[in-house]
Structure 1
Amino acid sequence: MSTSGARYHHGDLRAALVGAALGLLREVGAAGLSLRAVARAAGVSAMAPYRHFPDKDALLAAVATHGFALFAARLEAALADAPGPRAALIEQGVAYVTFACTERALFRLMFGPLIAGAKARATLHEGGAPAYAALERAVAAMVADPARRPAVALSCWSVAHGLACLLVDGQVAMPAETEAIGALARSVLEQAVPS
């Protein structure tokens, strides 16, 4: 058996490549990502990624889509523990900001301009839909008038995303502890989320 054949034993090569890319993204940022580097990290041949990803944009979109799945899960979990609809919406915003601050490179990939191809951008938009749907459900539980819900959802998203970007980009000093990030986010969101 050849060395390359011995190295290729992933039951799910696509998942292994996305996992390797996510690890590299966290370690070296998006600039250090290439299909060759991801193949090396996954322990497969340099050509193996092309079985699932025609180019780097497609791989980055898959990583960002995986990030959106993690993100949506955190947003959903925030809803489960809150004592009421307004508190749930605030806690969801806290989860948004803490995700951004603890997964900076992934957050930048998910929401930034790095993914340029139209097909990859469409995949990314589709991957982000469950996270926005979680926000819409939280708003629907709090806002009785359906006509007001889109504006309230956009307002809440804007505040959470804006604070996340200010912290991630260093425009506002980021607390060192995750709990302190959450406390900061909570204090801002309590002022911004309508009663």
Structure 2
Amino acid sequence: MTSRSTYHHGDLRQAVLSAALDVIADEGPSALSLRDLARRAGVSHAAPAHHFKDRAGLLTAVATEGFDLLAAALAEATDLKDAGVRYVRFATDHPAHFQVMFQPDLLRSDDPQLLAAKERAGDRLRAGVAELPGGGRGPDPRLAGVAAWSLAHGFATLLLSHNLAGPVGDRDPEDVFRTLAGVLFANDAPQPPGE
């Protein structure tokens, strides 16, 4: 006889999201199947579709949760360098979210909750750039934001894909990132002529 828990789950949405994060961390987002996640959560195969409709809906929910977590992490940053450290820490603490968040082909790019969460995270990065002397380096503060994001995102991506084992070695990756950010975003860095 089937147990009652097969038909009723206290927080099905969160149970499916948690199972999805486990699968993504172990096998990547391409391995996700709503049917498999339902089995893992102990519910009927149709139950996850009630919350997510389909795989893209589920991955959009994962990305939305990730951007919310990232925005919260960046909100506590003391400056742009600290925001970068927190970005790297977020990626290492939440690698499954990180894998999905920046793959727009997997997501419903027009989802209002996703767009709002992305905006909150972007606002936090822009706030850090605005605190640089002159509101950012060079004539376009947006490019300073792209440079900061590129450094943090690239470092986190290389770290998660084990491409920095040699250069980082047994050093704390956050300390290594602070050093890199200090080189590129030093307050006393010379400005280009005419700036």
How does the TM-score come out when normalised to structure 1? 0.79
1:16 alignment partner AA: A
1:28 maps to 27
User: Of the candidates 86, 89, 92, which is equivalent to residue 98 of structure 1?
Assistant: 89
User: Quick one: distance in 2 between partners of 1:35 and 1:74?
Assistant: 29
1:40 alignment partner AA: R
Q: Does the Cα contact within 8 Å between 2:71 and 2:120 map onto a contact in 1?
A: yes
1:172 correspondence with 2:164: yes
Identity %: 37
Report SS of the residue matched to 2:109.
helix
User: Quick one: distance in 2 between partners of 1:22 and 1:47?
Assistant: 19
Report SS of the residue matched to 2:172.
helix
User: Quick one: distance in 2 between partners of 1:46 and 1:98?
Assistant: 35
1:141 alignment partner AA: E
Q: How do 1:54-133 residues align onto structure 2 when only pairs under 5 Å count?
A: 54-77=53-76, 79=77, 82=78, 88-112=79-103, 115=106, 120-123=108-111, 124-133=114-123
1:189 alignment partner AA: A
Q: CA deviation at 1:139?
A: 1.8
Q: Does the Cα contact within 8 Å between 2:5 and 2:43 map onto a contact in 1?
A: no
1:49 maps to 48
Aligned length: 182
Q: CA deviation at 1:125?
A: 4.3
Q: Does the Cα contact within 8 Å between 1:90 and 1:186 map onto a contact in 2?
A: yes
Note closer, same or farther for the CA distance 1:113–1:145 as it changes in structure 2 (3 Å cut): closer
2:126 maps to 136
Q: CA deviation at 1:143?
A: 4.3
1:7 maps to 6
Q: Does the Cα contact within 8 Å between 1:35 and 1:46 map onto a contact in 2?
A: yes
Note closer, same or farther for the CA distance 1:6–1:161 as it changes in structure 2 (3 Å cut): closer
- Consecutive unaligned residues in structure 2, runs of 5 or more: 188-195
**Which protein shows a greater Rg?**
2
Report SS of the residue matched to 2:8.
coil
Q: Does the Cα contact within 8 Å between 2:66 and 2:97 map onto a contact in 1?
A: yes
Report the aligned-residue RMSD: 2.6
Q: Does the Cα contact within 8 Å between 1:90 and 1:189 map onto a contact in 2?
A: yes
Moved more, 100-109 or 2-11: 2-11
Higher helix share: 1
User: Quick one: distance in 1 between partners of 2:185 and 2:109?
Assistant: 30
